[in-house]
Amino acid sequence: MLLRPIGGQPDGGLGGRLFVSWRIASKSGLSSSTTASSSSKRIIDMAAREGELRVFMVAGEVSGDSIASRLMASLKKLSPFPVRFAGVGGSLMSKEGMQTIFPMEEIAVMGLWELLPHLNTFRKKLKETTEAVFLFRPHAVVTVDSKGFSFRLLKQLKAKSAQEESYPVHVHYVAPSFWAWKGGETRLKVLHQFVDHMLCIIPFEEQTCRLNGLSATYVGHPLLEDAIMLNLNSGPLSSKLRVQRSGDAFRHRHGLAPGTTVFTLLPGSRLQEVTRILPIFLKTIELLKNSFSELSIFIPVAPNSHVEDFVSRTIQSSPLSAILVPGASLDQKYDAFSASTAALCASGSAVIELQLARLPCVVAYRAHLLTEWVIRYRTKLNFISLPNILLNSDIIPEVLFQECTPGKLATVFSKVVLDNNIQEMQTSAAEKVLQLLCPPSEDTYRLLLEKLGYTGAVCYPSMIAASSILFAEKQRS
């Protein structure tokens, strides 16, 4: 008997094969994990009953917009039914077919005390988002990072819809760094009350979530997909964890003389962090300027209108020669990394991009004094950047809090720039870090895919996340 996929998927596509497998499983009385019924609470089964998959997504910052957009693309590939999106996000999510209900910049606030002036706006946007969810009637609500807004939203949704049979499955992508804080695992135990499934990007998070009663899947670090998008060679992800681009082409394109030294500055993506750290970065480079005959700086600017305006104004008043490019452009960003000698990087996910490019760096962090105090005395960690945390070593120099001054940064950064041993140590460590952040065993994942009825899928984080979402189900609280 010939089974044909539905939902606009091509017959031989992943979604089509998934539909065939899902239909066969649902009719043959297989195990409860693969069987659909009218009472099933799995996302894919709820979508099947209505002939479409509705997903409400929320991302509150630039990195979340990138992660969510790739997840949306993977959901469209894997889903056996047409997919409709609604929610809050940025330009990349819009390109995947979602019209945001308000600009995500309105909830892109970092820190503890930094949030206070924005509380009224925060509450209004939370109410607006909650109402939009009920109007859309999604099968799944997927929040990406931004735990302050995300968890408040999921908690409100659960409180208002827990008695309804059709309330959506709640999935959170990027587990909060509970492991970094004193008492963090205790707070993790309450998440199962309003989060049905957690998608983790650091290896040890899945087991810890499960031990604390929270269903979870480790999917690998989303930024590793930069390597997939920029490296055209086939093969497993673990074999191509390096992005090498043409530094000479970047220099030629921007008219830089052959001997020009290029430094990359990554000041963050949220306005609060950029306004604090970019002036420090610029003054740091000014202190080093006379040590180089020709010097230029490169800044990938986050696709946030407030950040773009601030960076442009700040650079206009700087004596440094600067090249600004859209931070969302992977080609331009990694071309510049290849042309650079070293980077100054605000603490955050951008350090993983530098690891992929094998670009030596120094990590810096500044925040409100009270926020810094809380971090200093409530954290369990010796380091703040993910590579150092994973290796439990200060491979990447960190200049934090009140010590993060232009003078101190210039001293530390100049050592990285001039010491080949430091550069080689960072390059060697990058390989170890990226291997640790790879998705689960590709053989194991392919076995799962074969059980679902299809083969040949590339094993990368957003694809694992998408398949996990399709088969996620409501949990009893």
> What is the Cα–Cα distance from 233 to 28, expressed in whole angstroms?
40
- Res 444: pLDDT: 62
- Res 160: pLDDT: 86
The ranges of the chain with pLDDT < 50 are 1-38, 454
| Three-state SS sequence of the chain | CCCCCCCCCCCCCHHHHHHHHHHHHHHHCCCCCCCCCCCCCEHHHHHHHHCCEEEEEEECCHHHHHHHHHHHHHHHHHCCCCEEEEEECCHHHHHCCCCECCCHHHHCCCCCHHHHHHHHHHHHHHHHHHHHHHHHCCCEEEEECCHHHHHHHHHHHHHHHCCCCCCCEEEEECCCCHHHECCHHHHHCCHHHCCCEEEECCCCHHHHHHHCCCCEEECCCHHHHHHHHHCCCCCCHHHCCCCCCCHHHHHHHCCCCCCCEEEEEECCCCHHHHHHHHHHHHHHHHHHHHHCCCEEEEEEECCCHHHHHHHHHHHHCCCCCEEEEECCCHHHHHHHHHHCCEEEEECCCHHHHHHHHCCCEEEEECCCHHHHHHHHHHECCCCCCHHHHHHCCCCCCEEEHHHCCHHHHHHHHHHHHHCHHHHHHHHHHHHHHHHHCCCCCHHHHHHHHHHHCCCCCCCCHHHHHHHHHHCCECCCC
In tens, the pLDDT along 252-301 reads 999 998 889 999 999 999 888 999 999 999 999 999 999 998 999 999 99
> What is the Cα–Cα distance from 376 to 364, expressed in whole angstroms?
14
- Res 419: pLDDT: 96
- Res 115: pLDDT: 61
- Res 449: pLDDT: 57
- Res 3: pLDDT: 27
Contact 220, 228 (CB under 8 A): no
> What is the Cα–Cα distance from 241 to 435, expressed in whole angstroms?
8
- Res 445: pLDDT: 62
- Res 111: pLDDT: 54
> What is the Cα–Cα distance from 439 to 464, expressed in whole angstroms?
8
- Res 161: pLDDT: 79
- Res 371: pLDDT: 80
Query: Residues 10, 15, 20, CA angle at the centre, nearest 5°?
Result: 95
Output the six-digit token pair for 267. 């000041």
In tens, the pLDDT along 45-102 reads 999 999 999 999 999 988 999 999 999 999 998 898 999 999 999 999 999 999 899 9
Residue environment code for 262-301, b if the CB has 16+ CB neighbours within 10 A, otherwise e: bbbbbbbbbbbbbbbbbebbbbbbeebeeebeebbbbbbb
- Res 373: pLDDT: 82
Closest CA to 459 of 268, 236, 269: 236
